[in-house]
Amino acid sequence: MTTGPRCRFCRGVWGEQVLDMGLQPACDHFPEVTSAEQDPVYPIRLWLCAECGLAQLVEDPTVPEEVRGIEPEALVVQARSAVGLIAEAGLLPVGGTVIEHPSPHGGTWVEHLAEQAITVARGDTADLVLDCFGLMHAQDVRADLEGRVAELAPGGTLLLQFHSLAAVLAQGQWNAIRHGHPVYLSVPTAVTMLETLGLGAVRAWSFRLYGGTILIAARRGEATSPEVRRLADAELTAGVRDADSLRALHDIAADTAAALRGWLVGARAAGRTVLGYGAASRAVPLLNHAGIHPDLLPAIADGSPAKHGRRVPGTGIPVVSPEEMLERAPDEVLLFVPDLLDEVRRRYPGVESGGGTWVVTEPSPRAVEPDRNVLNA
């Protein structure tokens, strides 16, 4: 263990570099297909703070670009479910107010909270302060979290939602570690951060979204509940503060990339037409690490019109509309965001009715059993 960068939360310098993914393009930089400019690349190095346990990028010089994604149905469903659970726990004040800090990738809980008579605050404080995947994008996580706490009205509740590092480890989601996401939260580290700022984590909920999403409710002057302590202990057992567990993601990345490339090479040799779906930020490191270009994957479709006519950075792969994907009648469609499977099958039945197959990319390409309802329609 050596001195290193200064922690984005506790300002400590003791820790370990646990992952080096080399040079990668910014995951939200989708240049126009016609652009001749070289896509810039930057190092991705993950560092684990020995003092507070926060996993973080050593550096992230990228600047978030305009959001071009659309809110997936899975995210909407999870938000509605979360609001219901918070209401059942008695943590939604009648006629209360909210300040929301959403993710740069989009999505909001405002409409769901409005159904519970919670309105957007007009002042600088609110009964609820909601951070939905926002803190994961913070360059200075302490300053941002202090700002959230300062917005709490007396007796208010901070709601903090994040993709758990425990899920990244359990499912080998190495490509969740990417530019634009300098911070990787776990329950034990989140509890430490909240307690440092005078809050206790009173409730926590787990969701299947993104393979493992955590929502924590915290309040000033209250003790962290035994339920949250147990969840934190389980994540410690899973290795969220263990350097060797995090280092294992390096080999998983190599295996995942090799599996994807090998599958695409085999599909090309067999004469099968393969396209992709979901030009999401998490697809960028996977495609770059695997060295995938248009000769193996001619195009990736995406539901966001703002991405059409652009290319996946570092790969040259153009992003097209779902309509163009259907017109090409692919034999297989690689789905880069597994959470979208039910949604895309319902929206684009023509893939399967036209004889095509959906293929989930991670941890290795896996064909999805045909939907008989679509085939018999």
* 153 C-beta neighbours (distance < 10 Å), count: 18
Phi then psi dihedrals of residue 176, to 5 deg = -70, -20
In whole angstroms, give the CA distance from residue 72 to residue 195: 33
Cβ–Cβ < 8 Å for 280, 253: no
* Predicted pLDDT at 67: 46
How far, in Å, CA of 132 to CA of 150, rounded? 17
Strand partners for 193: none
> Letter for the amino acid at 14?
W
Q: CB count, 10 Å around CB of 298?
A: 16
Tell me what pLDDT residue 373 has.
Answer: 63
Nearest Cα residue to 144 out of 180, 183, 106: 183
Round to whole Å and give the CA distance between 263 and 256: 11
- Name the pTM for this structure: 0.91
Cα–Cα distance, 85 to 61 (Å, whole number): 38
Task: Quote the tokens at residue 319.
Answer: 């992003």
How many of the other CB atoms lie within 10 Å of CB of 268? Answer: 14
Q: Which residue has the tokens 């259907």?
A: 326
With CA atoms as reference, report the closest residue to 49 among 169, 149, 161, 141: 141
CA distances from 229 to 218, 226, 232 (A): 13, 5, 5
Tokens 């909001």 sit at which residue?
Answer: 108
Helices (H), 72-216: 73-88, 110-114, 141-150, 165-170, 187-196
230-259 residues labelled b (16+ CB within 10 A) or e (exposed): ebbeebbebbbbbbeebbbbeebbeebbeb
Question: What are the chain's domains?
Answer: 2-57 (no CATH), 73-247 (3.40.50.150), 259-375 (3.40.50.720)
Strand ranges (E), the chain = 2-3, 14-25, 41-49, 55-57, 97-102, 119-120, 126-132, 152-163, 183-184, 199-207, 213-220, 274-277, 300-301, 319-320, 332-335, 357-360, 366-367
Instruction: Look at residue 2 in the predicted model and tell me its pLDDT.
Output: 72
pLDDT of the chain along its 377 residues, tens only?
677 799 999 999 999 999 999 999 988 889 999 988 888 899 999 999 999 999 999 998 876 655 456 677 888 899 999 999 999 999 998 899 999 998 876 678 999 999 999 999 999 999 999 999 999 999 999 999 999 999 999 999 999 999 999 999 999 999 999 988 999 999 999 999 999 999 999 999 999 988 899 999 999 999 999 999 999 999 999 999 999 999 999 999 999 999 999 999 999 999 999 999 999 888 999 999 999 999 999 999 999 998 999 999 999 999 999 999 999 999 999 999 988 999 999 999 999 999 999 999 988 899 999 876 655 55
Structure confidence at residue 155 (pLDDT): 95
